[in-house]
Amino acid sequence: MDLTGRVALVTGSSRGIGRSIAERYASAGARVIVHCARSHAEAMAVVRGITERGGEALALFADVEERQAVQRLFEDIDAAYGRIDVLVNCAGRNRDVPFLEMTDEDFAVTYQSQLRGTILCSQAAGRRMLSQAGGSIITIGAATGVRGRRNGANYCAAKAGVMVLTKVMALELAPTVRVNCLVPGYTETDEVLDRFNLRDPRKLAAHVSGIPLGRLALPSDIAEWALWLAAGAPHTTGQLLYVNGGAYMG
């Protein structure tokens, strides 16, 4: 899979799944924009790692929950590269809380970053991709956006929104832009290991027992499919691609 010369923005790529996708894209030849809102030092470290391996990367910072910040982010990309070929919407926050205790703020934190952020970035990228006659947008859903989970009303509802949004965008941006959704199962990032206490071997074993392929996903597993969706995936749009070791068969 080759992305030589393609310009790819991976939102939320200072760590976790986004970081792995940014690094994989760079190793496939893309000019990668490493992005985050707050963790600037981590993003700069990702850029340094990519450039030390001979890749091309630039760090840009913006809160995807703010329309004007997203507008400035894409103006900076216009100034740096004059085009955008791939957008991966990885930025997102979580805040687990029992449904009856969920406040407006608990809902807003997740909804604003996961769903509205995806909308704002995809609008900005979609307009540019239509005018340059091509592009690929990738969203990140979640198995729990289909089957739900305790304490995740805000997150599961936002991810369900992202997944159906993917189909709407695929319909409206076709045939010029392909839009597809990666749906990871539990993936080994610090955020998930900490939130679900999965550094405890017994907790981890309980989770893994429900995964036919016998382990959590690695960020690099998700990155391989993100590369395939960006560089290959002929005649494919509006699809949800489950990468979860068989834990949920969509």
Ligand X SMILES: NC(=O)c1ccc[n+]([C@@H]2O[C@H](COP(=O)([O-])OP(=O)(O)OC[C@H]3O[C@@H](n4cnc5c(N)ncnc54)[C@H](OP(=O)(O)O)[C@@H]3O)[C@@H](O)[C@H]2O)c1
Residues annotated as catalytic are 155
Least spacing, CB of residue 178 vs ligand X, in Å: 20
Residue 172: CB minimum distance to ligand X, A: 22
The residues of the shown chain that bind ligand X, judged by CB under 6 A, are 11-18, 36-39, 63-65, 90-93, 113-114, 117, 140, 142, 184, 186-187, 189, 191-192
Alpha carbon separation from 216 to 18, 49, 213, 222, 245 (Å, rounded):
17, 25, 9, 11, 7
* Amino acid occupying residue 160: A
Distance CA(250)–CA(240), nearest Å, equals: 8
Closest CB to ligand X: residue number: 16
* Residue 12: HSE in the Cβ half-sphere, 13 Å Cα cutoff: 22
Shortest distance, CB of residue 39 to ligand X, whole angstroms? 3
**Nearest residue (CB) to ligand X, 20 versus 237:** 20
| Closest separation in Å from C-beta 4 to ligand X | 25
Q: How far apart are CA 196 and CA 155, in angstroms?
A: 14
- Contact (CB, 8 A) for 69 and 62: yes
In the complex with ligand X, which residue's Cβ is closer, 18 or 135? 18
Identify which of residues 59 and 175 has a Cβ nearer to ligand X in the complex: 59
First to last CA, the chain: 26
Q: Do 64 and 55 touch, CB atoms closer than 8 A?
A: no
Measured from the CB atom, is 134 or 203 closer to ligand X?
A: 203
Minimum Å gap between C-beta 198 and ligand X is 10
**How many angstroms separate the CA atoms of 198 and 206, rounded?**
9
Taking the least distance from each CB to ligand X, the nearer of 12 and 126 is 12
- C-alpha 74/C-alpha 195 separation (Å) is 32
Q: Of 151, 145, 144, 147, nearest to 101 (Cα)?
A: 151
Rounded to whole angstroms, what are the CA distances from 116 to 44, 49, 182, 237, 250?
25, 30, 17, 21, 24
